[in-house]
Every structure is written in C-alpha cells, then in structure tokens.
Chains A and B, each alone.
Chain A
Amino acid sequence: MAAAVGMGQQWVLVEMVQAFYEAPAYHLILEGILILWIIRLLFSKTYKLQERSDLTPKEKEELIEEWQPEPLVPPVSKDHPALNYNIVSGPPTHKITVNGKECINFASFNFLGLLDNEKVKNAAQASLKKYGVGTCGPRGFYGTFDVHLELEERLAKFMRTEEAIIYSYGFATIASAIPAYSKRGDIVFVDEAACFAIQKGLQASRSNIKLFKHNDMADLERLLKEQETEDQKNPRKARVTRRFIVVEGLYMNTGDVCPLPELIKLKYKYKVRIFLEESLSFGVLGEHGRGITEHFGINRLSGQGYCFSASLPPLLAAAAIEALNIMEDNPDIFQTLQGKCKQIHRALQGISGLKVVGESFSPALHLQLEESCGSRENDVKLLKRVVDYCMNSGIALTQARYLEKEEKCLPPPSIRVVITVEQTEQELDKAASLIKEAAQSVLN
C-alpha cells in the first residue's frame, strides 16, 4: 500500500517535470517575472496615507502644551436676574414672607390650598414615624413601599384608568414616559407650546418630531394627512412605526386648554395614540377635579408603563394619598376655584399696557406686555419693575422663567399669576387693582 502511494507520488513528480519542459517559453518567462515581483513586494516598505500619526512624539508634546480649552463655565454677570432670586422664609403658603416682606402669595402653584392643610401634614407625620424619610433604593430593589402601591391604586381609581404609576420627580415623569413608548423611527406630533420637560423627553426618545401650531387642529390634520401619504408609499414600514400626539391638558406657557374632543376624532381617523400631560389640569378642571377628560366628558385610554429610578419618599406619598382623600370628599372646591379664576380674569381685563393670556377658568395666567419695547432684555426689566412694585405693596408675584437658549419656541416674557382657593375675594380685588396701579406707574 505504501509502495503504491510512493509510486503515485513519484509519478506526479515526473509529470510535473515533464510539463515544465513542455511549456512554451513565454509562459515560463512570465511566471518568472511574477515571482520576482512578489518577492520585491514582500520586502519593500509599506506606505500609509499621510496621517497626523506621522507626528513625532516631541511634536505631540508640543501640541498638548499649546492646547487651551475653554473655561469650564462661561462667566455669569453679577446682575443676572436669576442670581438675585427671591428667598422665602418659612412655608410658601397663602401668606408668604419673601425677602423679609410679608405678602399674599400669587406665585406658587398651590391651587387647592393643600400646602398648609392640617390633615395632609398629619398623614405625612404618621408616615415619617413609621418609615423614616428616604426609601434608600429604586423600586426594583426594596424601594417599593405599601404607600406607593396604595397611592397608585387610588390614583387609578380616581382617574378611572386601569393602572397608574408614580415617579419621584415631576419633570422626570413625562421626560421618562415618552422615551419608554416612542423610540427611534417613531413619529410624534407635538404642540408648539409644549413645556420644556416634554421637549427633553422627545429629545431623549430620538423619534421624528413634527410640531404643529398651538391648538391649531387644521395644522395638525394637515401634518397627519402628509404622514398618511408617506405611509402609503411604504406600507411595510408604516405597519411598525408608532405614532403619537403629545398635548398638555392645561398649557403652562399659555394658560389655555387643548381641544380634546377634536383630538379624539383625529386619533381614531388616523390611528394615532394620545399622550396627555396634565400637571396643571389635574385637580383643577372637571367637576371632580379629574382633569381635562372630565372637563370634556371623555373616557381614558388604558396603558402600563415602567419605573426607572429611586422611589418617592413615603411621607410625600402619604401626603398625596391624603390630598386625594380631601379632593374626593370636597368636590365643591373645584367650583370655588373656577369661580375665583373667572373673577380675576374679568378684573384683569383692560389694564393698559398688559394683556391677559389664558382661559377664563385657568388658574395659571400670564400677563404679557401689549407692545414689546424692542429687546427681550428690556421687556424683562420692565416686567421686573411691575413685579417689584407689587411685592413692595404686599402681593407676591413672579416672572415666568425659561431657558432662553434651549427652548424650541420661546414664549414672550410675562408675569405669572396663580389663583388658589385660599385667596379671598378682597385679596383678589386688591391684587387686580394693585397690578393696574403698577402698570400705570411703570409703563406710562
């Protein structure tokens, strides 16, 4: 067997040598040249494209020495309005002490006057005795307390939905909820006047954003139709792209409500889901304070979500449960609040130089300058003088603050007026007349 193989090998060798002798001359010369070329390539230096890495270590050292970065933060001028902020001593309740002066509070969002409520405080005290202050962990790792579960159940029942979840920070709620549902490649239709938290949530989600004019349903329908024609061109992609509309119940920046019935019609027509942000309308609108859906008489969607970070301190959850109890037991406070809103809305009409922005039943109004005096900075200074005049006479107001460079559609400068159930009719009248006086003296 081995001999046969040996014979076979020899025979192949003989064949090779024979072929060598029989090959034409040009073939052998070509092969010889190729072999020499390969040997040359193997031993010659390789060339790279000219790169910065050709720099010698010494040159690199010099570059490192020379480079000067910007300072970590740009200098802030000493008289920036936000650096001279108001310091409140004591609780920010109906009567508030700002910078040492006692005023009536028209600036904190304490719509139902629950900040100072004894029952709420007692519930928080009881929770403090039982649980301490912090939860020392996220929801997944022993940070879920029975108070959290109870609060979620009560909220779901109150809002008439299937389930609810709570977050520990208001800003983070919408900023985390949007990217949880809407991912890269999905489409979101947002109102222009949406607040900053929504804008950040959209940025984090990396979806395609389409802005429509504030409360303009015709504009929104136009955008939806455009999207529909796009979808028909690529039906497979359309079947997996989720679509959302994000609106606020009561807009923080303009004080008006979104037209929910029309939105629902558009939702079923174009198969879009609605995200409703109700930080201002919860506990304000509707007969029982259930928010904008009760205001318009509509049923809610169902849905579930996920929780991401450290949980809410239990004393705050207990306070919230007590607040819900109060809201359920006294449904007439909502009527009272709306009555007061209407009263002050009427009283503030007709001030020369200032116009009221917001619906008559909105508890958070804006007072904007009727005519701007050229630059935003000067407008802000002028409004500050109005605010200071009012503060000196015992009404605490504040300007609405924005991050000027970061907002997509920056609202004009304005004074924020907040109405709460605790303000009496005389106080409302006093505030209105004081603002009139201030406008007269400063703007004329």
Chain B
Amino acid sequence: VLYFQKNGVSNGSLYKKPFIEHFEQAPMYVAVLTFLAFGLGSIFGYLRDFMRAWGLEKRNIATEREQQKDFVPLYQDFEDFYTRNLYMRIRDNWNRPICSVPGPQFDLMERVTNDYNWTFRFTGRTIKNVINMGSYNYLGFAETDANALKTVTKELEKYGTGICSTRQEMGTLDKHVELEKLVATFLGVEDAMVFGMGFATNSMNIPALVGKGCLILSDELNHTSLVLGARLSGATIRIFKHNNTQSLESLLKDAVVDGQPRSHRAWRKIIILVEGIYSMEGSIVRLPEIVFLKKKYKAYLYLDEAHSIGAVGATGRGVVEYFGMNPDDVDVLMGTFTKSFGAAGGYIAGKKDLVDFLRTHSHSAVYATSMCPPVAEQIIRAMKCLMGLDGTTQGLQRVRQLGKNTRYFRQRLHEMGFIIYGNDDSPVVPLLLFMPGKIGAFSRRMLEKNIGVVVVGFPATPLTESRARFCVSAAHTREMLDTVLSALDEVGDFLLLKYSRYSKAAHPELYEETRFELED
C-alpha cells in the first residue's frame, strides 16, 4: 500500500509500533483552480467595495454614531477586505446555534437570512437530531443522563455556581484539592494544578515559566494560545517545521552551540512547545524522537494535550501512554478538560517543584477566579469512570469504542477516495476540500442531509488547503457513522471531492484485507 509521509522518520527504532501518517498532495490543477477562485472572489470584492463607496449598494457594516463621525475609524477598509467580501458570503456555516446537549446528535436552531448573510433571523423552528460531527466530544461525556450526572447535580445544589475569588485569596475549595490529586494520579505524576479556562492555562503559565534570555522552540502549527503565551513571555521564539525532528535537531544544535544572538552568551533554558494531536492536521506528535532529542540537548518539553488526553492511548491517558513512554520524560504536561471530559478548564501537571512554583507565580492563581465546583465535579466523575474507580468498565469501553470508530471511519474514507490528513489513530479527521467555493457548498449540503460538519478555510489553514474537519466520538454508533459515510459518498461525487490517486477504487489490486478491530 502506498502512503505519503511528510516529515520523514529519522529514527524509526524508537517507536514500539508503526507510525503512519498521510499528507497527500493535491493534483496540480486543483491548486491552479483554487488560486483562480480566490482571484475571482477578490475581483468581485473590489467591484462590490467600489459600488458601496459610490452609494450604488447598501452599506451593511457597523457605522459610527453621528457625534463620532470624525474620529479615527476603528476598522480600516483594507484590513477587513477578506472578512467583508469573501467570509461574509459563506458566514452561515459558522456560529450555528444549538439548543440541546452537544452529544452524538443535537438540535440546531433554524436560521434564515434575507440579505445574504449580513443579518440572521431565527424562524423559531429547530432541526432535530442532526448528527454531530463537529463537537469535541471524543469520549461521549457530554450527556444528560440523570444517573450519570447525579453527583454533579448534588454538588451544584451544595456549592452553587460561583467562587468570587482567586486561588490565592479565598478561592481554593476542597473540591479543587480533590480534583488536583485525582488528575495527578490519572496521569502518573507527582502533582497537578487546575485552571478555569484552557486557553488561559497556556497564555498565563508560559510567561511564568520562561522569560527574557530563554529560547522557545515552537512547532509551526501550534495553537493560538501557545503562540500568545510565548509572545507574552518575552523569550526568543524559533519555529521548526511541523512535526519535523530534523528541523528541530538542527535548531537545537545551533542554539546550544551559538548561544544568544549577537552576544553569544549561553541560553538560560530552552523549552520545546508541542501539541499531542494537532487539531487542524490530525497528526500526532513524534514524541519518542523529541524526548530523545530533548535528553541529548538538555532542553525542556512542554506538551499540550488538549485534544489527545482521553482520546488516544490504551486507557485514555494521552500520547505518553500511546507511545509507551514514561510521564517523567515530559517536563510539563498540560491539557484541557473541554474536549474529552465534557467540562471546561485546563491543567498543568508534573513534578511537585513545578506545580508549587506555578501555585505561587502563575498569573491565573493570583488574578483569575478559580474553576466552579459543578464543572470540577464533572471532571472528577469522568476521570473516575475512565480509571475504573466507579466500579464499572465503562471508561475502558468508551476508549475502545473511540479507537474502533476512528479506525473504521478513516479506513472507509480512504477507500472512497478522499484525501485525509493525519495519523491513523487520531480521532480528528481533516478532509481536504481545497477550493473555496466547495467550503460553503459542502457544509450546506451536509446540513440538508441532517449532518452537522465543521469547515475551515483561510486564515486558520493555508490558502489552498481548506478542509472539513470531523471529530469522531465514542458515542457515535456504527449506524450513525454509516449514515455519514454514505452522505459523504454522495456529496463527494456531486462536488468532485475524491481527489486521492491512491484509493482502493483507483487501484484495488494494491489493497490487502484490512481489519478494523484494535490490536491488543
């Protein structure tokens, strides 16, 4: 079977099982047509702007009040060109409001627009039982089953919804202490600290850990929170190619040998920022190689497991378990509870010294209110379920079901001929659309078939690589996945999305029998 590997494997002997990732390139005509489409869109955009400036077309954007007409405008015309003229046309595919629990199926509120997406109106009807392929509900803990939520209900009754104070003042409850101990046990480390928001966990703790005179080596495709945290810290930032250990090694070597720029003094410390699963690519970090490099060059590793905690690994403990490694090898383990645990917030775990330092010096501990108790209880019950502490094997079943669903879904999409990015084991499945016109068409057609998908385009992805991103969940049944797959088949044929040159349909003789079950 033919696979394309970007970022080639430099040291395959460090891996205990095969590491297979795909990043197939589109045929050339697709790239050309994509650029043409953007060009055409821009031409029409200029035409529209011209018509608006000359009053031939109504202006729909926010305008200033009379008294402030001669203030400097908040938005310059050219900054907003893309938003006004290209994004507005397909705006109805984002920010779709829902009115039920974001489980494997949800209810969407019906929206119509009379002026081409400038304003929306709710008709009052709901579209029921739309299959949810967009929410980060990997283990299916976003549920309203009364039995599952009984401890959360009790805690909500006892504690209420707020805290009204910061961790260092009067905001540390016994619930937080309990949660932190549980998180530390779950991950197999000494201690952990929890925060109220996942994004803020990164942007407020990275500046506490590094400062001027330190070096941050960050992956090309890191999330905005990591980039913001790195920028706020004041350290020097260098970017290495996505998941490419040769690029990382050469940067490390140069950094240690040359020292700081111009003064050539040694760096105070070097920290590598990576994510467990990258949410736009579906790729898994090459952890064994990075740990090997980190030990050789004495750098520190900060691993952001926002999408991978709970979603990969034999018992859901993240990429560290997936690769069979020791959690002590990673210096700072960070993650969020929004995705696999159906709650909100983030954590940082590691050695006791690290966590004590963060308790005293983190911006969040001093200035931000702590996590609210019902949310903490939801995380506690989800973690206990995963660890088997509630007396059932439900947690393990969920993890296994997620693995099965992921492999099945990806295998079938490959067979159908779509271009899928990422690792075979990652529950995040990006399906490439490439052309901007197909973004809107794909999302609307899938909604007509009662399936809710997430589509992403520029600027979250490179210009030519717009994609639809599916998040497989343990709560999806085989029937739901089959419904989605047959719908994708239809829409794929209609919109000509089956770009892959290596599918089973094209070369059936190259494919052997495949198995969908997890190997234990």
| Bound Cα distance A301, B71 (Å) | 13
Chain B residues, CB < 8 A from A52 = 257-258, 264
- Nearest to A74 among chain B residues (CB) is B357
Question: Per-residue 0/1 for A285-317: is the Cβ within 8 Å of any B Cβ (1 yes, 0 no)?
Answer: 000000000000000011110001110110110
From B72, B177, B224, B374, contact of A271 by CB (8 A): B72
Residues of B206-249 contacting chain A, CB below 8 A: 209, 224-225, 228, 231-232
> A91 and B159: CB pair below 8 A?
yes
Q: 0/1 per residue, B36-61, Cβ < 8 Å to A? A: 00000000000000000000000000
Whether B198 contacts A144 by the Cβ 8 Å rule is no
Q: B197's contact among A96, A120, A172, by CB below 8 Å, is which?
A: A172
Please determine whether B171 and A142 come into contact, CB atoms closer than 8 angstroms.
no
Among A8-16, A102-110, A335-343, A432-440, the one that faces the other chain is A102-110
Report how far A119 CA is from B349 CA in the complex, Å. Answer: 37
Q: Does A45 contact B (CB under 8 A)?
A: no
Query: Closest CB of chain A to B348's CB: distance in Å?
Result: 11
- B153-169 CB mask vs A (1 if < 8 Å, else 0) is 10011111111111111
Q: A69-B267, A140-B94 are in contact. Are A240 and B231 (CB under 8 A)?
A: no
* A93, B55: Cα distance in complex, Å: 58
Would A115 and B298 count as touching, CB distance under 8 A? Answer: no
Tell which of A86, A143, A175 touches B170, judged by Cβ atoms closer than 8 Å: A86
Q: Is A60 an interface residue (CB 8 A)?
A: yes
| Interchain CB contact (< 8 A) of B162 among A55, A115, A128, A197 | A115
Of A31-39, A345-353, A398-406, the one contacting chain B is A398-406
User: Do residues A67 and B256 form an inter-chain contact, with CB atoms below 8 A?
Assistant: yes
Contact B98 A145 (CB under 8 A): yes
Q: Decide if A121 touches B170 in the complex (CB within 8 Å).
A: no
Decide: A128 near B149, CB < 8 A? Known: A76-B356, A115-B162, A401-B166. Answer: yes
Q: Could you tell me if B357 and A70 are in contact, using CB atoms closer than 8 angstroms?
A: no
CB-nearest residue of chain B to A139: B95
| From B134, B364, B365, contact of A137 by CB (8 A) | B134
- Report which of B76, B101, B296, B454 forms a contact with A130, defined as CB distance below 8 A: B101
Q: Given known contacts A85-B168, A109-B165, A195-B367, is B268 in contact with A69 (CB within 8 Å)?
A: yes
> Bound complex: CA of A316 vs CA of B369, how far in Å?
14
**Does B152 have its Cβ within 8 Å of any Cβ on chain A?**
yes
Contact B267 A85 (CB under 8 A): no
CB-CB < 8 A to B62: which residues of A?
Answer: 302-304
B501 in the interface, Cβ–Cβ < 8 Å? no
Contacts of B209 in A (CB 8 A): 72-73
**A236 interfacial contact with B, CB 8 Å:** no
For B228, what are the chain A residues with a Cβ–Cβ distance below 8 Å? Answer: 204
Most buried by A among B170, B225, B353: B170
Question: Does B297 sit within 8 A of A, measured CB to CB?
Answer: yes
**Complex CA distance for A376 and B511, rounded to whole angstroms:** 73
Say yes or no: A87 contacts B253, CB within 8 Å.
Answer: no
A90 at the interface (CB under 8 A from B): yes
Alpha-carbon distance between A431 and B344 when the two chains are bound, in angstroms: 37
Looking at the complex, which of B335-343, B408-416, B477-485, B491-499 is the stretch in contact with chain A?
B335-343
| B residues in contact with A20, CB < 8 Å | none
A75 to B357: give the CA distance in the assembly, Å: 7
Q: Is A136 an interface residue (CB 8 A)?
A: yes
Measured CA separation A414–B109 after assembly (Å): 50
B374 A142 Cβ-Cβ under 8 A: no
Tell me the nearest residue of chain B to A306, going by C-beta.
B83
Is there a chain B Cβ closer than 8 Å to A412's Cβ? no
Per the CB 8 Å criterion, the residue count for chain B at the interface is: 112
Contacts of A148 in B (CB 8 A): 97
Neighbouring B residues of A399 by C-beta, 8 Å: 169
Q: Is the C-beta of B519 less than 8 angstroms from some C-beta in chain A?
A: no
Cβ of B200 within 8 Å of any chain A Cβ, yes or no, is yes
**Residues of A contacting B271 with CB < 8 Å?**
72
List the one stretch of A163-171, A218-226, A254-262, A325-333 in contact with chain B.
Answer: A163-171
Q: In whole Å, how far is A360's beta carbon from the nearest beta carbon of chain B? A: 22
Would you give the 0/1 interface string for B89-116, flagging 1 where the beta carbon is closer than 8 Å to chain A?
0000011111111110010010000000
123-182 of chain A: CB within 8 A of chain B: 124-125, 128-137, 139-146, 148-149, 168-172, 175, 181
Which one of A60, A72, A85, A130 lies within 8 Å of B144 (CB-CB)? A130
Given the complex of chains A and B, what is the CA–CA distance between A273 and B68 in angstroms?
Answer: 9
Asked, given contacts A304-B62, A315-B161, whether A171 binds B368 with beta carbons under 8 Å apart, the answer is: yes
A315 surroundings in chain B (CB, below 8 A) = 156, 161, 374
Q: Give the CA-CA distance A316 to B161 in the complex, in Å.
A: 7
- Cβ 8 A contact of B169, one of A93, A128, A301, A401: A401
Q: In the complex, identify which listed stretch (B3-11, B135-143, B384-392) lies at the interface while the others stay far away.
A: B135-143
Shortest B59–chain A CB gap in Å is 15
> Which residues of B from 57 to 93 have beta carbons under 8 Å from A?
62, 65, 67, 70-72, 74, 76
Distance between B508 CB and nearest chain A CB, rounded to angstroms? 36
The residues of A that contact B505 with a CB separation of less than 8 Å are: none
B174 at the interface (CB under 8 A from A): yes
B449 within 8 A of A: no
Q: How close is A128's CB to chain B, nearest CB, in angstroms?
A: 6
B257-A149 in contact (CB<8A): no
Whether B360 contacts A121 by the Cβ 8 Å rule is: no
A269 to B339, CA, bound (A): 49
Q: Tell me the residues in window 78-120 of chain A with beta carbons closer than 8 Å to chain B beta carbons.
A: 80, 82-83, 85-93, 96, 98, 105, 107-110, 114-117, 120
Query: Is the C-beta of A241 less than 8 angstroms from some C-beta in chain B?
Result: yes
Do A145 and B97 touch across chains, with their CB atoms under 8 A apart? yes
Which of chain B's residues have a CB closer than 8 A to the CB of A135? 102, 135, 338, 344
Most chain A beta-carbon neighbours within 10 Å: one of B297, B298, B344: B344
Residue of B nearest to A271 (CB): B71
Flag if B374 contacts A128 (CB, 8 Å).
yes
Q: Is B142 touching A136 in the complex (CB atoms < 8 A)?
A: yes
Given A171-B367, A313-B343, A403-B363, CB of A142 within 8 Å of CB of B170: no
Report the separation of the CA atoms of residues A308 and B164 in the bound assembly, to the nearest whole angstrom. 24
Contacts of B106 in A (CB 8 A): 142
Quick check: is B452 within 8 A (CB to CB) of the other chain? yes
- Structural contact, B197 and A121, CB atoms closer than 8 A: no
> Which A residues between 30 and 64 are near B, CB-CB below 8 angstroms?
52, 55, 60, 63-64
- Complex Cα distance, B273 from A87, in Å, reads 33
B146 is an interface residue with CB less than 8 A from chain A: yes
- The CA-CA distance from A309 to B306 in the complex, in Å, is 13
Interface flags, B390-423, vs A, CB<8A=1, else 0: 0000000000000000000000000000000000
B interface list, Cβ under 8 A from A = 62, 65, 67, 70-72, 74, 76, 94-103, 106, 109, 132, 134-137, 142-144, 146, 149, 152-153, 156-174, 177, 196-200, 203-204, 209, 224-225, 228, 231-232, 253, 256-258, 264, 266-271, 296-300, 331-332, 337-339, 341-344, 353-354, 356-361, 363-369, 372-375, 378, 452, 454
Question: 5 A-B residue contacts at CB 8 Å?
Answer: A80-B360, A130-B100, A134-B102, A309-B225, A402-B366
The 10 closest A-B pairs by CB, nearest first: A169-B197, A73-B357, A136-B135, A171-B368, A108-B164, A309-B199, A107-B170, A133-B378, A82-B360, A69-B269
Q: Name 11 extra pairs, CB < 8 A, besides A120-B160, A143-B135, A238-B72.
A: A69-B270, A92-B164, A107-B170, A108-B163, A125-B157, A134-B342, A136-B135, A136-B338, A142-B106, A400-B169, A401-B166
